[in-house]
Structure 1
Amino acid sequence: MTFRMPPEWAPHERTWMAWPGPNPTFATDAELAAARTAWAEVARAVARFEPVTMVHGPGQAASARELLGAGVELTESELDDAWMRDIGPTFVRDEDGRLAAVDWVFNGWGGQEWARWEHDAGIARRIAGLTGVPVHSSPLVNEGGAIHVDGEGTVLLTDTVQLGAGRNPGWTREKVEAEIHARLGTTKAIWLPHGLTGDYGTYGTQGHVDIVAAFAGPGTVVVHSQRNPEHPDHARSLEYLEILRGATDARGRRLEVVEVPAPTVLKDEDGHWVDYSYINHYVCNGGVILCAFDDPHDEIAAGIMRRLHPGRTVTLVDARTIFAGGGGIHCITQQQPMT
C-alpha cells in the first residue's frame, strides 16, 4: 500500500493543538500563563477558518475554556508538553484517498535532558483513535516540524535532525530517505545541513526545517533570510539559499526561492541570538496564521504571504512568547486533511 502526505495548503478537516500545562518549558506560573494566552490567541485565529480541537491535560479544561471561548473543541489526554506539530500524527492518504496516520518515534527532540515524553509519545495514536483512522508506526525518530512537503513528491529535511545522534544513530541518509519516502509518498529529499543558530539552545529542536524553509506551493519555497551580518544566521541563510537555488524538486523543476527577511531584532532579553522566523507560519482553510514580533518586518512578511497565498487572509499573531518556549505557530498546530 502506498501513501502520500497532502501539502499544508490542501483542504483541512480541522487543526489539532495541545494546551500548555506545568512542565520544564513553562516552569513558573507567569510563564505558563503567558504561554496559555499565546496558544489561545493562535487557536482563536485558526478557528476563524476551520475547526480546532485542543487536547488538554486532566484538570485543565476550565483554564482552556476560559481563554479559548466556545469556538474551540476540547478533549482530554495526558500530556507532557504542548508542541502538537511534533507529537501529533502526520496524516497521509492511501491510494484510494483514505486517511491514515503516521506515528513517528518521539523521544523529546533527541532525548534532551529537560524533556519529558512518556505521554507525548502516545499522542499520535490517541488522536488517530479519536479520528478513526488507521495508524502506521515508523521506526524513525522524527517530528512533524522536521519535515515539509510540496504534495508532489518533494520533502525538506535537515542533517542535524534525522541524522542526529540523539535521534537515529547509525542511520544513513539513504536509510532515512527510504523510510521518509515510504511513509510520505515522496521521492526526492532536499537536505539542509542545519537549522537556525537559536534552535540549538536549551529548548531548541536541534535544527527543525520549519523555521528555515517551507513550500508555499509546488515548485516554490520560502526561506528565512537573515540579512544582518552581525547575526550568525546571516552565513547560514546564504548557505540555505545556495542549496535551494541549486536544487530541483521531484518533478525536475528548478525551485522558485522566495527570501523572507528575518525580523530586525537580533538578541533576546538574555542576550541570546533569536531564531525569530516568519517561515514558521501555518496555512489553514482560507487563512495564513503568521508569526509577528512587533517588528518593522512583520508587514513585509505579511505582504509576501499574501502574494504567495492569494485568496487567503493573512493574520498576524504575536509569537514571541511561543518562541521563548522553543518554537512558533507552525510548531503548535497540526493539520488533519479533509476526509
Structure 2
Amino acid sequence: MTFRMPAEWAPHERTWMAWPGPNPTFTNDEELTAARTAWASVARAVRRFEPVTVVVGPGQLDSARALLGDAINLVERELDDAWMRDIGPTFVSDGTELAAVNWVFNGWGAQDWARWEHDSKIACHVADLAGVRVVNSPLVNEGGAIHVDGEGTVLLTDTVQLGPGRNPEWSRAEVEAEIHAKLGTTKAIWLPHGLTGDYGMYGTQGHVDIVAAFARPGTVVVHSQQDPAHPDYERSRMYVDILSRQTDAKGRQLEVVEIPAPTVLKDEEGDWVDYSYINHYLCNGGVVLCGFDDPNDEIAAGIFRRLFPERIVTLVDARAIFAGGGGIHCITQQQPKV
C-alpha cells in the first residue's frame, strides 16, 4: 500500500511537543517564562484527550516537570527552539505501518537569527523514540507549511516551498512531485503567500496552517480579517476567492468556512498581528483553539463546535506563543494511530 499522511482528525497515538529553552526567540527571562506557561497550558489541554510527550533540552527536566505535571512524558534531547510542528517528523501510514518523513529543516529559510544545528535532527530523534523508520526528503519544508485532507489534497504556499531561502532551484512541478511522493497526495492547492505578520522578525514566511486548514474532506476553514485597516483584509478575501474556486483531489468543490480574525490589529510594538484561530490543533475528541482574550474568541469557538460537534473545544491563551512566531498548531505534532 501507499504511505500517506492521515488527516489531523484521524485517531492519534500521541502528541509530540518541544519545550522552550533560552534561545533567540525568547530574548529574556520574562518572555521565556511566559512561553513555558503557554506551552504547558497547551500540553495539559491536549493531555485531556491523548498521551503527550515533550522533548526537553538538557538540564531543563525539573523546570519542565514543575509546569507540566506528572501526566506528561518527558524525554531529554538537544534543542535549539520549540516548534515541534516544524522540526518534528511528518508521520505517514500505509494502514499497517507508520513511517516518519524527515524534511530538511534550515531555520525557516535560513533566517539570520535562527539556529538549527540540533532542531534539524529532532525529526529523527522523535522517529526513533516512536519506533518507526525514517523516510528522508531532500525538500526544505516544515510541518506548518502543509495541510492535508487525508484523501489526496494538500495546501501549500508559494513563499514557503518555492521561497528563495528554502528551495530556490526547485520548480513548482518538482515540489509537487516530492510532496505527493512523501505524503501520498495527488493534488496541491497553492496560495500565493501567508498572513502579513508572518513575514516579520520571527515569521515563517508564509506557513499555510495560519491561513487555511481542512476541517473535513471538502471543507476548509479560512482566516477572515474583518477590518479594512489591516493588510490581511484584502489577503483573506483573496484566499477565500482562490479556495472557493478549487476542487479537491476527489473532484469536490471546496466549501469555505470563514473564521473571523481577532479584533486586535497591532501588537505592543505597533506591528500587524497575525493572530489567527486557524492555527488550532485537533486531538482525540478535542479541538485546542487559540484564544486571545478577544471578543471573537467565543465566536470562533462556536464555529468550531458546529464543525466538530463530537469534539470538546478548549480555548487556550496563545498570545505568548504568537509573540514567538507561531500558534498552538505550530507547537504540536500528531503521531497517527495505526
Please tell me the TM-score bracket, short chain as reference: over 0.9
Q: 1:32 maps to which residue?
A: 32
Give ranges in structure 1 of 5+ residues lacking alignment.
none
Determine the C-alpha separation between the residues in 1 that align with 2:250 and 2:29: 50
Matches within 5 A, 1:199-278: 199-278=198-277
Q: 1:79 maps to which residue?
A: 79
TM-score scaled by structure 2? 0.99
How far off is 1:227 after superposition? Answer: 1.2
Q: 1:44 maps to which residue?
A: 44
How far off is 1:97 after superposition? Answer: 2.6
Q: 1:102 maps to which residue?
A: 101
How far off is 1:3 after superposition? Answer: 1.2
Q: 1:335 maps to which residue?
A: 334
Determine the C-alpha separation between the residues in 2 that align with 1:243 and 1:214: 14
Q: 1:21 maps to which residue?
A: 21
Q: 2:2 maps to which residue?
A: 2
Structure 2 counterpart of 1:76, which letter? E
How far off is 1:71 after superposition? Answer: 1.2
SS at match of 1:260: strand
Q: 1:299 maps to which residue?
A: 298
1:124 aligns with 2:123: yes
Q: 1:58 maps to which residue?
A: 58
Determine the C-alpha separation between the residues in 2 that align with 1:107 and 1:261: 32
Q: 1:282 maps to which residue?
A: 281
Runs of 4+ in 1 over 2 A off after TM superposition: none
Deviations 1:55-82 (A, max 9, x none): 0000000010000011110000000000
Structure 2 counterpart of 1:199, which letter? D
Matches within 5 A, 1:179-218: 179-218=178-217
Q: 1:320 maps to which residue?
A: 319
Structure 2 counterpart of 1:278, which letter? Y
Determine the C-alpha separation between the residues in 1 that align with 2:308 and 2:150: 16
Matches within 5 A, 1:96-175: 96-175=95-174
SS at match of 1:236: helix
SS at match of 1:266: coil
Determine the C-alpha separation between the residues in 2 that align with 1:319 and 1:129: 30
Determine the C-alpha separation between the residues in 2 that align with 1:310 and 1:9: 13
Determine the C-alpha separation between the residues in 2 that align with 1:63 and 1:85: 22
Deviations 1:41-60 (A, max 9, x none): 00000000000000000000
Give ranges in structure 2 of 5+ residues lacking alignment.
none
SS at match of 1:129: helix
Determine the C-alpha separation between the residues in 1 that align with 2:228 and 2:30: 35
Structure 2 counterpart of 1:228, which letter? D
SS at match of 1:288: strand
How far off is 1:170 after superposition? Answer: 1.5
Determine the C-alpha separation between the residues in 1 that align with 2:306 and 2:15: 24
How far off is 1:310 after superposition? Answer: 1.4
Structure 2 counterpart of 1:39, which letter? W
SS at match of 2:322: helix
How far off is 1:2 after superposition? Answer: 2.6
Determine the C-alpha separation between the residues in 2 that align with 1:244 and 1:117: 34
% identical aligned pairs: 79
Determine the C-alpha separation between the residues in 2 that align with 1:257 and 1:247: 10
Determine the C-alpha separation between the residues in 2 that align with 1:122 and 1:168: 19
Determine the C-alpha separation between the residues in 2 that align with 1:265 and 1:97: 46
